[in-house]
Amino acid sequence: MRPIRTGILGATGAVGQRFIQLLASNPWFQITALAASDRSVGAPYEKACTWRLPGDCPASVRELIVQPCEPGLDCEIVFSALPSSVAGPIEERMAAAGYGVLSNASSHRMDADVPLLIPEVNPDHLQLIPIQRANRGWDKGFIVTDPNCSTAGLTVALKPLHEAFGVRRVVVTTMQALSGAGYPGVPALDSLDNVIPYISEEEEKMAREPRKLLGTFSREAGSIVPADIAISPSCNRVATRDGHLEAVSVELGRKASREEVIAALRGFQSLPFRLGCPSAVEPTIIVRDEPDRPQTFLDRDAGRGMAITVGRVRPCEVLDFKFVVLSHNTIRGAAGGAILNAELMIAQGMIA
């Protein structure tokens, strides 16, 4: 198989850099185009960008000339790391021009005909693609989105519980990492020796996105019927670099024992792993038995940042069970998730 010619929109930002870092060693993709805002256009990537990940910028992209974020890029698909404030229309123009758009922005996540996708959770939602193309008069372009970074880990953990027992109500408190705010993001003076109990728009996303992700594709409606789950999030920013830790309480549709809950989590199977997708890992859900795990620093890189780690599964005094879930916000919850979306589409023949 020849690698897919790939572009990145918003290539100079924090998520853009993570895309480059992950794609540079991924055999299914070849980075052939980098695009960013006007300020960077025309410069070689290594000049346009201050590389902020450990190590150096991959040699293969250093001399690529940064292009504008518009059709004309030399690639088949684009990963969009654009800020939501500008992503919407740009992504539409790209898809209309025939590019496959794998977006990390929130702009189109809740569009009725756009898949909000986690390959291990709702691969069947890709059935929206032909509907999307018909609706919008697009030929071979498309838009597929991945969820918010705080949604991703939670939803993966809820999926096997929802399948096995039905999830009815969820109270979740997040302790989210600094990288979720991008760069420059949170000022150090606001982070050191502090917790900020608020992240703009985050709770709204966490309340609605898992409902779509865990929802059902309706051929008649041509859209997703959201799962009937009430979710109450409280989102907090803490002084960690990467890794969103979440304390979760769930009410289940039918009674289950702690052993059954753990067995459901441990039994979770990954379709993209079975299909050989290079970014997929098995297990996708790691369940730890120690009383004090997962910890952000120790567990965020499990499964190369694509696994989520669940721990402290125990009865809840108010709902049914509570547990802790950790996922890597810029890998599983952003760049890595979008790349896995593309891999699933490649494995299923939806990207040539």
C-alpha 283/C-alpha 303 separation (Å) is 8
- Yes or no: say if 127 and 151 are a contact pair by the CB < 8 Å rule: no
**Least distance (Å) between residue 55 CB and a copy of itself:** 7
**Least distance (Å) between residue 217 CB and a copy of itself:** 25
Closer by beta carbon to a copy of itself, 115 or else 303: 303
Closer by beta carbon to a copy of itself, 51 or else 217: 51
Closer by beta carbon to a copy of itself, 160 or else 311: 311
Closer by beta carbon to a copy of itself, 1 or else 192: 192
**Integer angstrom CA distances of residue 271 from 52, 101, 275, 282:** 33, 22, 6, 10
Q: Residues 108, 125, 162, 244: which is the catalytic one? A: 244
Active site residue 316: no
C-alpha 205/C-alpha 210 separation (Å) is 8
Closer by beta carbon to a copy of itself, 97 or else 181: 181
**Least distance (Å) between residue 165 CB and a copy of itself:** 17
Closer by beta carbon to a copy of itself, 164 or else 238: 238
Stated as kind and residue range, the H or E segment containing 186 is none
Q: Residues 75, 149, 235, 277: which is the catalytic one? A: 149
Helix (H, G, I), strand (E, B) or coil at 290: coil
Interface ranges with a copy of itself (CB under 8 A): 14, 52-55, 169-171, 173, 175, 178-179, 183-198, 207, 230-232, 234, 236, 238-241, 245, 247, 249, 251, 291-302, 311-312, 316-319, 322, 324
C-alpha 64/C-alpha 27 separation (Å) is 19
Buried b (16+ CB within 10 A) or exposed e, 239-272: bbebbbbbebbbbbbeebeeebbbebbeebebbb
**Least distance (Å) between residue 2 CB and a copy of itself:** 32
CA 68, 329, 299, 309 torsion-angle sign? negative
Buried b (16+ CB within 10 A) or exposed e, 213-223: bbbebeeeebb
C-alpha 257/C-alpha 262 separation (Å) is 9
Beta-bridge mates of residue 223: 218
**Least distance (Å) between residue 115 CB and a copy of itself:** 25
- Yes or no: say if 166 and 225 are a contact pair by the CB < 8 Å rule: no
Closer by beta carbon to a copy of itself, 15 or else 33: 15
**Integer angstrom CA distances of residue 288 from 122, 175, 325, 329:** 25, 19, 10, 19
Active site residue 162: no
First to last CA, the chain: 10
C-alpha 180/C-alpha 43 separation (Å) is 27
**Active-site residue list:** 149, 244
